[in-house]
């Protein structure tokens, strides 16, 4: 595993990795494998169907272990679609850290489309986090189109945290989570776009089993002339509870479209949605200025808190 300064910086930004991670990991760099480690309970192997990507199998009863699978692209013009499948046994409690960092100093676009499919066994809990980050002063675009498909068996749960703060020129995200009996999905999405960036996020949470729960908390900031579109949808097909909350701060000449949807196909489904778009309130800036911050510092403080 040869690491350059760029590699180190990208890995730290997207996966908080400083040096070799503890536990299982697979580092993908410029379409190749730059390091891999399986553990006794977490096995990582190449796919066998000819597609690019890996299979991750986590044995029943695996508790307190982590699996890092970051992707970094350091060359311009790299375009790839990668399929990673997670098979998580029963009664597990694990943390999976994914993420993609693109450093593009060239003229050609770099694009990573990561398709992640999770099959989470009975009573297992997964904390899945995914950070996206782009850098480099070339004209080539930094493009990421992640797809995450999750199947939760009875009593299983996932906490999915996605973060994209600056640097990604174009993103189209698709998330689908199917909840069985007593399963729970909590998705938090944090997004900041600037310049001419565009971001779209489509999400569907199907609450199919009795007492399934789904919660979406989306917070975004659009600056300059960037644009964002959110379409989170929660479908209640049983006695269940679903809540969608989208909050956005709009700045400059940005555009935001927020279209939360709830759909009930069962009289016992309890679904709520809330959506708000607004600029930073003048009183908020004034209050922080009375505490000694400049207007710029106050704005930065409000945005950091909002996206924390």
Distance CA 79, CA 71 (A): 12
**C-beta of 253: minimal distance to another protein in Å?**
23
For 276, list phi and psi in degrees, rounded to 5: -145, 135
Bridge partners (DSSP) listed for residue 85? 55, 117
Are 128 and 135 spatial neighbours (Cβ–Cβ below 8 Å)? Answer: no
For another protein, which is the closer residue by CB, 62 or 258? 258
**C-beta of 47: minimal distance to another protein in Å?**
40
For another protein, which is the closer residue by CB, 87 or 306? 306
Q: Which stretch binds another protein (CB under 8 A): 104-112, 159-167, 255-263, 290-298?
A: 290-298
For 12, list phi and psi in degrees, rounded to 5: -70, -40
For position 279 contacting another protein by CB under 8 A, the verdict is: no
| Window 237-256: residues binding another protein (CB under 8 A) | 247
Are 33 and 44 spatial neighbours (Cβ–Cβ below 8 Å)? Answer: no
Residue 139: helix, strand or coil by DSSP?
Answer: coil
Q: Which of 1, 33, 63, 281 binds another protein (CB under 8 A)?
A: 281
For position 272 contacting another protein by CB under 8 A, the verdict is: no
**C-beta of 297: minimal distance to another protein in Å?**
8
Q: Which stretch binds another protein (CB under 8 A): 63-71, 85-93, 156-164, 283-291?
A: 283-291
Bridge partners (DSSP) listed for residue 199? 171, 228
Note the Cα 120 to chain centre separation in Å.
17
- Count of CB atoms situated within 10 Å of the CB of 304: 11
| Window 188-247: residues binding another protein (CB under 8 A) | 219, 247
For position 1 contacting another protein by CB under 8 A, the verdict is: no
**C-beta of 277: minimal distance to another protein in Å?**
13
**C-beta of 192: minimal distance to another protein in Å?**
13
Are 62 and 92 spatial neighbours (Cβ–Cβ below 8 Å)? Answer: yes
For position 267 contacting another protein by CB under 8 A, the verdict is: no
Bridge partners (DSSP) listed for residue 206? 178, 235
Interface positions with another protein (CB under 8 A): 219, 247, 281, 283-284, 286-295, 301-302, 304-308
């Amino acid at each position: 595993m040869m690491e350059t300064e760029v590699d180190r910086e990208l890995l730290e930004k997207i996966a908080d990795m400083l040096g070799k991670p503890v536990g299982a990991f697979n580092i993908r760099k410029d379409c190749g494998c730059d390091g891999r480690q399986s553990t006794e309970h977490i096995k990582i192997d190449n796919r066998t169907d000819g597609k690019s990507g890996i299979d991750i199998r986590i044995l029943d009863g695996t508790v307190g272990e982590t699996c890092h699978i970051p992707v970094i692209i350091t060359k311009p013009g790299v375009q790839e679609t990668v399929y990673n499948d997670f098979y998580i046994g029963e009664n597990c409690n694990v943390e999976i850290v994914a993420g993609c960092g693109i450093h593009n100093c060239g003229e050609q676009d770099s694009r990573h489309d990561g398709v992640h499919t999770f099959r989470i066994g009975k009573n297992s809990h997964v904390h899945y986090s995914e950070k996206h980050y782009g850098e480099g002063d070339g004209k080539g675009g930094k493009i990421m189109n992640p797809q995450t498909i999750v199947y939760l068996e009875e009593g299983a749960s996932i906490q999915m945290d996605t973060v994209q703060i600056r640097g990604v020129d174009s993103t189209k995200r698709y998330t689908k989570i199917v909840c069985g009996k007593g399963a729970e999905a909590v998705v938090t999405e944090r997004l900041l776009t600037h310049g001419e960036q565009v971001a779209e996020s489509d999400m569907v949470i199907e609450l199919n089993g009795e007492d399934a729960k789904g919660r979406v908390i989306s917070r975004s900031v659009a600056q300059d002339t960037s644009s964002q579109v959110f379409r989170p949808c929660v479908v209640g097909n049983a006695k269940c509870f679903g809540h969608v909350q989208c909050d956005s701060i709009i700045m400059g000449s940005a555009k935001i479209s927020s279209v939360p949807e709830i759909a009930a196909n069962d009289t016992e489904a309890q679904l709520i949605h809330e959506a708000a778009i607004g600029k930073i309130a003048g009183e908020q800036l004034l209050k922080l200025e009375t505490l000694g911050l400049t207007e710029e510092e106050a704005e930065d403080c409000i945005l950091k808190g909002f996206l924390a």
